């Protein structure tokens, strides 16, 4: 899971890209990069948070009115600095590219590309692979035309499997954006006068003063030529499978993705969760969110149940999100650094903690322990999503099939393992009702029920699991 912004503006765009990356930092904390174009590509990328990668001096050479920025969360690949995006290709014309998602046939396609086309990829990032496939296909369609570009992207769709929301700039031709045929990852564009911006979450557009035009549709290409004319064509009309976990956990609550408010979806998750809690005869004094993602769900749950809502856990804002950290040691170390209990609220109380999900259970266990140590009489646990049981191959690094606590355990066994007095999960139906806001929508729910919208071959699956396990 990553985030990106592409801007075709009037003046230098690096500062706007920098601000945008700060606004989508939650989508990736591993690496960041900006490329601008001013007769040549000017690139700066590196490991770490946006504020650590870019120094004031970098902006003296990040010149140009066209640029792309990216924050990286490692999915495929080693996660080293060579995997940071954007990537550049010299041929044809010169292309810069960044993406969000995960190409699931990365390893087989990379081997094919290196063997048949005598290329070498210098990173283990699927963005470099997408760039090379796209560059090849644009080359095959020369001389350049918009229709030729559409044909090139159609070929890309035939080759790449998985999720990919892509932004690219082709020197002297224009800015290009496209979304995989199932629309798994978000991508939205807006305009300000005749400036154009395309990004992962609409909050970025609002911050920059752009008017949101719309989400890029699954299987659609948007192309802005050098005269700033916007062309678009839907190349594939397959069943959409946008990621439901964006609404549960990943996206900012103030974002609207594919027409659904993330905040509203999270409130609905709390309302739906209240039905599950009411099925049990629990005596609860306080509803306490595990900050920050679950806050709207906890507010709605408290309203529905008529039980007091309190902030019983305080978050150190300057520690990164634990789930997003790629390595287990970092995750374990950071829970206590990240959260501290408000003893005055918790002492002697029967508390229900509300979180968005339980992955491995270690984090939940540690939080429950924290709250007990702060003097809570009972600690109940509720999650606004159903049990996570299957890995995501489309962009969230949920490790291998064996890492999910709910994979081979009953709910009672999970409860015992995390040390809660009771454990309440969201139902699958409740999740879908909540996120769809009762409209007729379809989502990817594979991490909950194993129904993968884009099938993955056993060979590719094994390669991804080996790669993840080796981290």
Tell me which residues touch ligand SF4 (CB under 6 A): 184, 243-245, 392, 394-396, 444-447
Q: How far is CA 416 from CA 29, 361, 422, in A?
A: 33, 11, 9
Nearer to ligand SF4, 384 or 445 (CB): 445
Give the SS3 label for residue 155.
Answer: helix
Nearer to ligand SF4, 184 or 217 (CB): 184
* Calpha distance 176→170 (Å, rounded): 8
2 annotated active-site = yes
Place of tokens 């529905």: 304
Nearer to ligand SF4, 381 or 394 (CB): 394
Q: Closest distance between ligand SF4 and the C-beta of residue 57, in Å? A: 38
Nearer to ligand SF4, 284 or 396 (CB): 396
Q: Closest distance between ligand SF4 and the C-beta of residue 93, in Å? A: 33
What would the DSSP string read from start to end of 226-251?
A: TT--EEEEE---PPP--BTHIIIIIS
* Calpha distance 230→148 (Å, rounded): 16
Choose among 408, 337, 416: nearest CA to 381: 416
Nearer to ligand SF4, 89 or 385 (CB): 385
Q: Closest distance between ligand SF4 and the C-beta of residue 417, in Å? A: 22
Q: Closest distance between ligand SF4 and the C-beta of residue 450, in Å? A: 9
Looking at 2, 243, 392, 444, which residue is catalytic? 2
Dihedral (CA of 321, 322, 327, 333) sign: positive
Whether 320 and 376 have beta carbons less than 8 Å apart is answered as no
Q: Closest distance between ligand SF4 and the C-beta of residue 228, in Å? A: 33
Q: Which residues contact 232 (CB under 8 A, 6 or more apart)?
A: 220, 221, 222, 223
Q: How many CB atoms neighbour CB 249 within 10 A?
A: 23
* Calpha distance 65→196 (Å, rounded): 11
Nearer to ligand SF4, 274 or 445 (CB): 445
For the CA atoms of the chain, what is the radius of gyration? 22
Q: Closest distance between ligand SF4 and the C-beta of residue 443, in Å? A: 7
- CB crowding 208-219: b at 16 or more within 10 Å, else e: bebeebebbbbb
Q: Closest distance between ligand SF4 and the C-beta of residue 102, in Å? A: 8
Q: Closest distance between ligand SF4 and the C-beta of residue 395, in Å? A: 6
Nearer to ligand SF4, 87 or 245 (CB): 245
Q: What are residue 382's DSSP bridge partners? A: 354, 424
Give the SS3 label for residue 435.
Answer: helix
Beta strand 378-383 with 350-355 is parallel
Nearer to ligand SF4, 67 or 218 (CB): 218
- CB crowding 366-402: b at 16 or more within 10 Å, else e: bbbebbbebebebbbbbbbbbbbbbbbbbbbbbbeee
- State how far Cα 262 lies from the chain centre: 13
Choose among 253, 286, 257: nearest CA to 267: 253
Helices (H), ranges, 279-427: 295-305, 328-338, 343-346, 362-373, 411-418
Catalytic positions are 2
């Amino acid at each position: 899971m990553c985030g990106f912004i592409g801007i075709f503006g009037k003046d230098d765009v690096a500062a706007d890209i920098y601000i945008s990356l700060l606004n989508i930092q939650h989508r990736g904390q591993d690496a960041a990069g900006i490329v601008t174009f001013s007769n040549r590509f000017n690139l700066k990328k590196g490991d770490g948070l946006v504020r650590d990668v870019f120094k004031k001096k970098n902006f003296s050479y990040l010149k140009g009115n066209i640029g792309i920025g990216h924050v990286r969360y490692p999915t495929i690949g080693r996660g080293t600095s060579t995997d940071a995006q954007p990537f550049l290709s010299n041929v044809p014309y010169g292309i810069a590219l960044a993406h969000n998602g995960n190409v699931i046939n990365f390893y087989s396609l990379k081997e094919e590309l290196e063997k048949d086309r005598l290329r070498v990829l210098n990173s283990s990032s699927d963005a470099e692979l997408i760039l090379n496939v796209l560059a090849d296909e644009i080359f095959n369609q020369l001389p350049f035309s918009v229709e030729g570009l559409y044909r090139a992207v159609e070929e890309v769709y035939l080759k790449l499997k998985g999720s990919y929301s892509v932004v690219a700039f082709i020197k002297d031709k224009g800015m290009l954006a496209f979304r995989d045929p199932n629309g798994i990852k978000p991508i939205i564009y807006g305009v300000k006068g005749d400036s154009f911006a395309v990004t992962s979450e609409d909050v970025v557009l609002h911050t920059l003063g752009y008017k949101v035009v719309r989400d890029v549709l699954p299987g659609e290409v948007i192309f802005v030529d050098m005269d700033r004319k916007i062309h678009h064509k839907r190349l594939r009309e397959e069943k959409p499978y946008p990621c439901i976990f964006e609404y549960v956990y990943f996206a900012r609550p103030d974002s609207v993705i594919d027409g659904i408010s993330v905040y509203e979806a999270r409130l609905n998750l709390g309302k739906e969760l209240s039905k599950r809690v009411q099925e049990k005869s629990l005596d609860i004094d306080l509803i306490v969110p595990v900050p920050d993602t679950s806050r709207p769900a906890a507010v709605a749950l408290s309203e529905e149940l008529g039980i007091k809502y309190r902030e019983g856990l305080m978050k150190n804002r300057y520690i990164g999100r634990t789930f997003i950290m790629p390595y287990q040691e970092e995750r374990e170390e950071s829970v206590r650094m990240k959260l501290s209990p408000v003893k005055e609220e918790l002492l002697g109380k029967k508390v229900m903690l509300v979180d968005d999900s339980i992955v491995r259970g270690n984090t939940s266990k540690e939080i429950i322990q924290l709250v007990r140590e702060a003097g809570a009489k009972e600690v109940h646990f509720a999650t606004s999503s159903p049990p996570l049981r299957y890995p995501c191959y489309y962009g969230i690094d949920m490790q291998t099939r064996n890492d999910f606590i709910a994979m081979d355990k009953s709910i009672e066994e999970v409860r015992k393992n995390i040390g809660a007095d009771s454990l309440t999960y969201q139902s699958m139906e409740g999740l879908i009702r909540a996120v769809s806001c009762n409209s007729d929508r379809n989502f990817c729910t594979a991490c909950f029920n194993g129904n993968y919208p884009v099938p993955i071959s056993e060979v590719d699956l094994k390669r991804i699991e080996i790669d993840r396990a080796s981290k």
